[in-house]
Amino acid sequence: MAGMGMHGRGRGHVPPMKMKKGVLKRLMGILFKNYKPLLIVIATCLVISAITGAVAGLFLNTVYDTLANAIAKTVSVSEAWSKIITTLIILGSIYLLGILSNFIYQQLGAILTQRFLKDMRVKMFAKMQRLPIKYFDTHTHGDIMSSYTNDIDAIRQLISQSLPQACSTLITMTSLALVMLYLSVTLFVVVIVGLFAITMVTKFIGKNSAKYFMAQQKAVGQVEGYVEEMMNGQKVVKVFNHEQKAIEKFNSLNDNLCEVSNKANAFSNMLMPIIHNIGNVLYVLVAFIGGGIFIFTSGKGLNISFQSLFTTGSFLTPLKISVVVSFLGMARQFANITGQISNQINSVAMAMAGASRIFDLLDEKEEADEGYVTLVKAKEDSNGNLVETTDKTGVWAWKHPHKADGTVTYTKLTGDIRMFDVDFGYVPDHIVLHNVTLYAEPGQKIAFVGATGAGKTTITNLINRFYDIADGKIRYDGININKIKKADLRKSLGIVLQDTCLFTGTVMENIRYGRLDATDEECIDAAKLASAHDFITRLPEGYNTMLTADGGNLSQGQRQLIAIARAAVADAPVMIMDEATSSIDTRTELLVQRGTDKLMEGRTVFIIAHRLSTVRNADVIMVLDKGRIIERGTHDELIAKKGNYYALYTGAFELD
């Protein structure tokens, strides 16, 4: 339950978040950089589709004028019908072009969206592989998974729906504004007043909606992280009758999610009705003012119009009823599309929150690696010097380029690991290892014993460079491990952890994970070495049996045996056995011990064990307490000292 406490901290109320600057700009920058040709085609179709929806007012104005002239008998009925039919054919063609353009940009938009999301997931996963272990120790797995699901989906909605619709409506609004200016500047001023009111309302409501949608996105990640944690720890929850506490904690997180979601949607849902009613008021104002000008100033030049400038050379012209009727439709359309932009605020806010979280992941500091010493196969030349070779039968050697004189030297990998006055803390102000000095000569078995939290696993984490030391030095075959590339360093280390991790795949594939170029025969030999071969052959499909849910169809001991076989096939010169037999019964342990004894032959081995019986044969046993080595020696030497080790050994064979 310790993990529950650690990950549960700070998961209560999620305050509203402020929108980060530059998120949308960065998102658009990625789109333009990687998908420019596709964007150009989509943008062209989008512009055509938007403009075709706006120019209808001009043609309808022509139809109204023609009908008015026919009624006034200034043109014949046949001429009027001919002009109306021609206008409608042109209008129909324009609408057809708009439909075709809309279809093309919708299809291409879907292709663009899926390509973008695929590339983003690839970037996120690749980035995740380059992050240090510390990142995963300080972030819940469910919260990280939320970035691959909820945050990515929010961006999908932005790219496929919100942005195209926002661009389309902006183009349509611009086109409508030009058409309205062309017909009547006077009435357009009325529309601008309505637009100003809509803008102020949108700004106020949208600002509050956005911050709560960002808080909602964060709360969703926290809920998913907690659910994932409870699923993994379900046995522990039930064993300690922690169900009610788990429910209470979930309810607290869920209530917070509900609270911020309610606030976000409350602001979002009130926006459209308000804008709709402002649009209705605007419709009435245009009708009232336009009708008033038409009735009371008929025949007088009180309408300011670019249309009259082009036709009569004067801005002032009598306001025609056809202009008023056209304006009513355009004013309603103008208000509606303004509302459509406002309606996208929640999607944009969620997408910005999702993109911000994704960019936080992509911007995380990667695992630093300044190493330049690499691990290669080598053999002795006629002069007895090591030279690099592609021969698989060669020995492993460290390839060490020297920048000062440009030479390259090769040092045989023997497994000599030494730590000098090492201090370390997972956080700077809390040191957990103090002045640790140890020597592991090639082929030696070094055992660490001590209470939980004494620093045993921490030492092996430093050898792997999962974490870097605060002070002191660690040398591997005489080379400072900071100079060795991490991938090559870890390639030289085989490790069996207390908590096994099996992947979805066959038993054979899980064993081969230790060395991907291993043959089936090598994997089977490794399984025999680990005493796993017998139980594997009794599985339904033997080595081809599929494992799922972290090997849930196997016992804990069987899973551990496969993990040992995986380390065996890696054939690394240095082995780390971190509670490697902790999940295996005593009878099976005797079988495994024979295999691990063979596995450890000729290798430097670090053993961490609670069962003191498993470390009796170690060359050196080191007793740790609170991050310090307080005793060291062989089993017999430590027993003779009658110190801490003696007390532990004679008190119990299991160290609690």
Each residue's pLDDT tens digit, 81-98: 888 888 888 888 888 888
Each residue's pLDDT tens digit, 351-375: 888 888 899 999 999 988 889 999 9
Give the model's pLDDT for residue 345: 67
Q: Do the beta carbons of residue 397 and residue 412 sit within 8 Å?
A: yes
Give the model's pLDDT for residue 170: 80
Give the model's pLDDT for residue 654: 44
Residue 607: closest CA among 629, 575, 632, 585: 575
Over residues 126-144, the mean pLDDT reads 85
Q: Is the pLDDT reported for residue 400 higher than 90?
A: yes
Locate 321 and state its tokens.
């009823």
Q: Are strands 374-380 and 386-388 parallel, antiparallel or unpaired?
A: antiparallel
- State how far the Cα of 284 lies from the Cα of 331, in Å rounded to an integer: 10
DSSP 643: S
Among 70-84, 394-408, 460-474, whose mean pLDDT is lowest? 70-84
Q: Is the pLDDT reported for residue 138 higher than 60?
A: yes
3-state secondary structure at position 266: helix
**pLDDT higher at 12 or 289:** 289
- Cα torsion 625, 627, 631, 632 to 10°: value is 130
> Of the segments 102-116, 472-486, 600-614, which one has the largest average pLDDT value?
472-486
Each residue's pLDDT tens digit, 37-46: 999 999 899 8
Q: Is the pLDDT reported for residue 17 higher than 70?
A: no
Among 25-29, 113-117, 399-403, 606-610, whose mean pLDDT is lowest? 606-610
Each residue's pLDDT tens digit, 182-194: 878 888 888 888 7
Burial of 122 from C-beta contacts in 10 A (0-12 / 13-18 / 19+):
exposed
Among 151-155, 230-234, 302-306, whose mean pLDDT is lowest? 302-306
Give the model's pLDDT for residue 588: 65
Give the model's pLDDT for residue 452: 80
Q: Is the pLDDT reported for residue 398 higher than 90?
A: yes
Give the model's pLDDT for residue 479: 94
- State how far the Cα of 285 lies from the Cα of 582, in Å rounded to an integer: 82
Residue 520 pLDDT level (bands cut at 50, 70, 90)? very high
Q: Among residues of the chain, what percentage have pLDDT more than 90?
A: 23
Give the model's pLDDT for residue 582: 63
Size (the chain), residues? 656
Residues 6+ apart with CB under 8 A from 640: none
Neighbours of 466 (CB within 10 A): 17
Distance of CA 546 to the CA centre of its chain: 28
Residue 332: closest CA among 201, 191, 202: 191
Residue 347 pLDDT level (bands cut at 50, 70, 90)? confident
Among 47-56, 450-459, 477-486, 577-586, whose mean pLDDT is lowest? 577-586
Give the model's pLDDT for residue 652: 46
DSSP 360-415: HHHTSPPPP----BEEEEEEE-TTS-EEE---TTSEEEEEEE-TTT--EEEEE---
Q: Is the pLDDT reported for residue 333 higher than 80?
A: no
**pLDDT higher at 276 or 575:** 575
Helices and strands (H and E) in the chain: how many: 24, 18
Residue 440: closest CA among 474, 489, 396: 474
Over residues 256-264, the mean pLDDT reads 85
DSSP 102-113: HHHHHHHHHHHH
Residue 451 pLDDT level (bands cut at 50, 70, 90)? confident
Q: Is the pLDDT reported for residue 5 higher than 50?
A: no
Neighbours of 36 (CB within 10 A): 9
> Of the segments 142-146, 178-182, 442-446, which one has the largest average pLDDT value?
442-446
- State how far the Cα of 202 lies from the Cα of 132, in Å rounded to an integer: 43
532 φ/ψ angles, rounded to the nearest 5 degrees: -100, -15
Residue 254: closest CA among 19, 14, 1: 14
Neighbours of 182 (CB within 10 A): 19
Give the model's pLDDT for residue 67: 76
Give the model's pLDDT for residue 317: 67
Locate 167 and state its tokens.
């661009």
Neighbours of 373 (CB within 10 A): 21
Question: Angle at which helices 36-54 and 23-34 pack, to 10 degrees?
Answer: 110
**pLDDT higher at 143 or 53:** 143
Locate 291 and state its tokens.
């009708």
Locate 6 and state its tokens.
């650690």
Give the model's pLDDT for residue 13: 42
How many Cα neighbours within 13 Å face the side chain of 217?
A: 31
Locate 141 and state its tokens.
């797995």
- State how far the Cα of 500 lies from the Cα of 563, in Å rounded to an integer: 6
Locate 259 and state its tokens.
């609270």
Q: Which CATH class is domain 417-651?
A: alpha beta
3-state secondary structure at position 633: strand
Over residues 512-529, the mean pLDDT reads 91
Which residue's entry shows tokens 């990280």?
144
Among 262-271, 497-506, 545-554, whose mean pLDDT is lowest? 262-271
Give the model's pLDDT for residue 316: 64
Each residue's pLDDT tens digit, 477-506: 999 999 999 999 999 998 888 778 888 889
Topology annotation, domain 22-362: ABC transporter transmembrane region fold (1.20.1560)
Mean of the per-residue pLDDT values of the chain: 81
Residue 411: closest CA among 424, 422, 421, 401: 401
Q: Is the pLDDT reported for residue 4 higher than 70?
A: no
**pLDDT higher at 362 or 208:** 362
- State how far the Cα of 438 lies from the Cα of 436, in Å rounded to an integer: 7
Locate 567 and state its tokens.
């380390």
